[in-house]
Amino acid sequence: MKVQEGIPQPPSINPDVLTKSERKRRKKYSVDEYVAGILSGNRTILSQAITLVESSLPEHYDKAQSIIEKCLPYSSKSIRIGITGVPGAGKSTFIETFGLHITGEGRKLAVLTIDPSSEQTKGSILGDKTRMEQLSMHPNSFIRPSPAAGTLGGVARKTRETIILCEAAGFDTILVETVGVGQSETAVHSMVDFFLLLMLAGAGDELQGIKRGIMEMADVIAITKADGPNKMIAEGAKVTFQNAIHLFPAKSSGLKPQVLTCSALKNIGINELWEIIMDYFKFTRKSGYFEELRKQQAVIRMHSTIIEYLNNSFYNRKEVKLLRQELEQQLYEGTITSYKAAVILLDKYFKR
């Protein structure tokens, strides 16, 4: 049930650039129509389904869930790559070059972005298209910006569900990009098969900004901008990182994280990186780790969704909100134990 490659996508029907009145005239599809459209590789319907996933209206939620469930069986053949990078690593330029390499390999590529702080506006959509100009115009790529601002858990869920829809629409390669260096990396790590970290040469201070937990996630560390006079500095940084990696615990994939240098601008090292990634997938599919990780991720995501819900339910309860500040003040003054303060709030929540 792969997408029918024969049907060309009319570039004029890009729903992201529809006018307001065009949006209103959109047909309301049934669940089955959505699913059929997605499976046929129709980008307009795919985009509309993603909009449904991103919606916060309850009636959209139910419809979206039904669509996703029917699309679930079509996602096992894809590869999902998470990308993050330190500020200045040139993520957009990298994704543009890397993405064109991937489509050049005959693959169909979807680029998704997670940014819990984003406010989705026309501006930012156009921004995404602009910063990856060639890739966004490529017939075999599909770029979708981050869902509108929300809790990290909410934004992450929407992105996960968008992955499923894209895969059902025939995109066999998914790049999930995180914006900034922060908490969203963990969320992305929980939804991808492979994690790529872009670093900058010139170590020292710049590296302080990246959390070690993020370095620990990396399957490959790519030092970007390794061209011209910067090449030697990048090679030096490569050695530093390789040494640092010795201090890291073994990865559950059984493969050691690799460090390489590349230049997106000069298209150096991009093919080498892609081959390392392909080897990774060959190895993990053969060892069974690929499938096992996806299964584990699904279970972990259920539990983290539950914890997040319990958390929100507790701290948003009016009685808890009212007392919390007072108890924190008492903790600050050292007049109550943490345990007793917790019990008082729990008693309020459970109305005991």
Q: What is the contact surface with its own copies in residues (CB under 8 A)?
A: 65, 68-69, 72-73, 75-76, 157, 160-161, 164, 203-204, 207-213, 215-216, 240, 243-244, 246-250, 294-295, 298-299, 301-303, 305-307, 309-311, 314, 327-328, 331-332, 334-342, 345-346
Size (the chain), residues: 352
Quick one: 2 or 340, whose CB is closer to its own copies?
340
Contact 57, 171 (CB under 8 A): no
Quick one: 20 or 352, whose CB is closer to its own copies?
352
DSSP for residue 73? G
Quick one: 96 or 161, whose CB is closer to its own copies?
161
Quick one: 76 or 117, whose CB is closer to its own copies?
76
CB of 39 to its own copies, least distance (A): 17
Q: How far apart (Å, rounded) are the C-alpha atoms in residues 108 and 43?
A: 12
CB of 231 to its own copies, least distance (A): 22
CB of 253 to its own copies, least distance (A): 15
CB of 291 to its own copies, least distance (A): 10
Give, in order, the Cα–Cα distances in Å from 108 to each of 7, 74, 84, 129, 215. 14, 15, 21, 17, 28
CB of 296 to its own copies, least distance (A): 9
Quick one: 179 or 181, whose CB is closer to its own copies?
181
CB of 236 to its own copies, least distance (A): 13
CB of 7 to its own copies, least distance (A): 27
Contact 88, 200 (CB under 8 A): yes
Name the one residue in this structure whose structure tokens are 């309020």.
Answer: 348
Name the one residue in this structure whose structure tokens are 């302080």.
Answer: 208
Quick one: 274 or 314, whose CB is closer to its own copies?
314
Q: How far apart (Å, rounded) are the C-alpha atoms in residues 73 and 167?
A: 10
Quick one: 128 or 185, whose CB is closer to its own copies?
185
First to last CA, the chain: 54
Residue type, 325: Q
Quick one: 53 or 83, whose CB is closer to its own copies?
53
CB of 61 to its own copies, least distance (A): 10
Buried b (16+ CB within 10 A) or exposed e, 244-269: ebeeeeeeebebebbbbbbbbbeeeb
Rg (C-alpha) for the chain, rounded Å, is: 22
Helix axes 152-168, 289-315, angle to 10 degrees: 140
Quick one: 40 or 66, whose CB is closer to its own copies?
66
CB of 243 to its own copies, least distance (A): 7
Tokens of 250: 């073994």
Tokens of 270: 């991009």
Contacts of 345 (CB under 8 A, 6+ apart): 314, 320, 323, 324, 327
Tokens of 137: 């115009």
